[in-house]
Amino acid sequence: MAKRAVPGSGVECAFPIRRGGEILCSVAGVDSAISGGRVWTIRWLGQVSLLAALYAAAGHHGLEFANYHENATLVWPPTGLSLAALILFGRRLWPGVFVGALLLNALDSQLGWLPSLGVATGNTLEALVGSTLLVRVAGFRPNLERLQDVASFLILGVLGCTTVSATIGVSTLFASGAVESGNFGLVWMIWWLGDVGGALILTPTLLMLARGAPTWRSLFRRVEWWTALTLLLVTTSVAFSGFYPGLMGFAGLVSPFPILVWAGSRLGPRGATLASFIIIMIATAATASDLGPFVMGSSTEAIVLLWTYSMFIGLTAFTMAAVIEQRNASDRRYRAGEAQRLRSEKEKLLLLERERLTREMHDGLGGQLVSALSMVERGLSSRSEVAEALRRALDDVSIVIDSIDSNTTDLPTSLGKLRARLTPLLRRNGVELAWTVDDVPGIGTFPPEQTLHILRIVQEAVTNALRHARAERVTVRVTSCDEGEEGLCVAIRDFGCGLPPRTASSGRGIQNMRTRAEALGATLRIENANPGTQLELRIPFPR
């Protein structure tokens, strides 16, 4: 078999591989793959061992509350731990659940290895089936940002998969003789309620601590968190201190609830679940030490009361975490939709503005330049006439630039700039300009496109007076409309020779003004004023 040399290495490979333009020896690639596989295996073994240890430790503390039967307890946190672990880190960690449950039942409960295998199988299938149904079938998201996540967790994770462990576990105990037939139903109910409590209380807590909001750094930097933590520790410790027996002790049990609600509403899902976990841990530790209002009758009654209280706390925190996360998700979707809407509106406005500017440049500047070019090509116009045509073209460019200036798009400022551009033109031709703009409420509400239409009408009227009226004086007055009519009134009058017959409706410039007035929704009236011509434009305020 022919071998190929790896360039620059002096090494010959029978199976070279190419990566990024370089030839690498396949042996090196195999070594790299083997090394990566070893790292993955070591990491997986570490995660499985940690899960098994945590499962066994949590189960050991849970069995301390087993009263009616040594293998059935209402306090069973391993269910919540294993379900959260497989949801967050993948179902490949199921051996950790099996090993932890096997060691716990074989060594702690002294069942023996064969029955322990059956119980461990049920515990493992509980977490494996629950995580599979939630993630693969229901599309469950650990942050609980959708109503379907909450519903699927309650149905599949809390009520559904817990029946697997209870059925297999109690059936194994019955087959081994550890449970009598008459007690099968009661032991099954205690087992199932313990799994339900563990799944409902611990799983959302771990999910929110891992994926909830806000971030840990943000949470611990807030004074509200440390205030809520202090109040929770004080109220819960006092409630379970044992100094207030009877009804007084039960009254103290509700004292942490307002703080829990406040913490959830202000500190988000992570704050709510962490606060509930602290309350439940204090209540469990106190009850195990024979302290608190639950220690009134038998130990079984105390455990039932502890389970009920923990369920209320867990349900409250779970509901708040789900509601807050869904609200946050809705806010995020609303902000994203609003940002998209604003982008679409901005793009639409830019397109309309581009079309408007193209039309204005064509109608205004284009016509002026064509006129100036025609004057030069014919050679019949003087230099001053050509210069005047070019000045008007520059005035058109300035007016268009003013209309797109973000700092001067309001009508009063734009009118002031137009006056500054028209005054020198009229002065050079011996025409006096009288310009008055009243302070009219609402005059600054016209958008840029309407502002440009108004400027164009005023410009056309003044330049028509300059070209055709032979006037010595022009007046421009901007005032409010008559009483009972909301809007702006623009009146332009020249004291010249007046309009020839039929010009008020046939001239091209006048037709352009009427077209712009229609675009404004305004009324345009042009008539002889004796002497001169009067133009009146009535514009309604934009809505």
Residue 88 has pLDDT above 70, yes or no: yes
Most confident range (mean pLDDT) of 233-247, 283-297, 474-488, 496-510 is 474-488
Greater confidence (107 vs 455) lies with 455
Answer whether 466's CB lies under 8 Å from 455's CB: no
Q: Taking residues 384-405, what's their average pLDDT? A: 70
Q: What is the pLDDT of residue 418?
A: 83
Long-range CB contacts for residues 264-267, cutoff 8 Å, separation at least 24: 264/317, 264/320, 264/321, 264/324, 265/320, 265/324, 266/224, 266/228, 267/214, 267/219, 267/222, 267/224, 267/225, 267/228
Q: With b meaning 16 or more CB within 10 Å and e meaning fewer, what string describes 478-510?
A: bebbeeeeebbbbbbbbbbebbeeeebeebeeb
pLDDT in tens, 232-256: 888 888 888 766 555 566 667 888 8
Q: What is the pLDDT of residue 11?
A: 45
Residue 82 has pLDDT above 90, yes or no: yes
pLDDT in tens, 187-236: 898 888 889 888 888 888 888 888 877 788 888 888 888 888 898 888 88
**Residue 165, SS3 per DSSP:** helix
Q: Taking residues 272-295, what's their average pLDDT? A: 83
Q: Which of 96, 97, 116 minimizes the C-alpha distance to 106?
A: 116
CA 96 to chain centre: 37
Q: What is the pLDDT of residue 15?
A: 44
pLDDT in tens, 307-357: 888 888 888 887 877 777 778 778 888 888 888 888 887 788 677 667 766
Q: Which of 142, 139, 103, 107 minimizes the C-alpha distance to 123?
A: 103
Task: Please state whether the predicted TM-score (pTM) of the whole model is above 0.85.
Answer: no
410-539 homologous superfamily: Histidine kinase-like ATPase, C-terminal domain (3.30.565.10)
Alpha helices for 444-502 (secondary structure H): 448-464
Would you kindly state where each structural domain of the chain is located, as residue ranges?
33-332, 410-539
**Residue 490, SS3 per DSSP:** strand
Token pair 């563990």 is at which residue? 198
Query: Which token pair is 197?
Result: 């409590």
Res. 24 pLDDT band, cuts 50 70 90: very low
Q: What is the pLDDT of residue 6?
A: 42
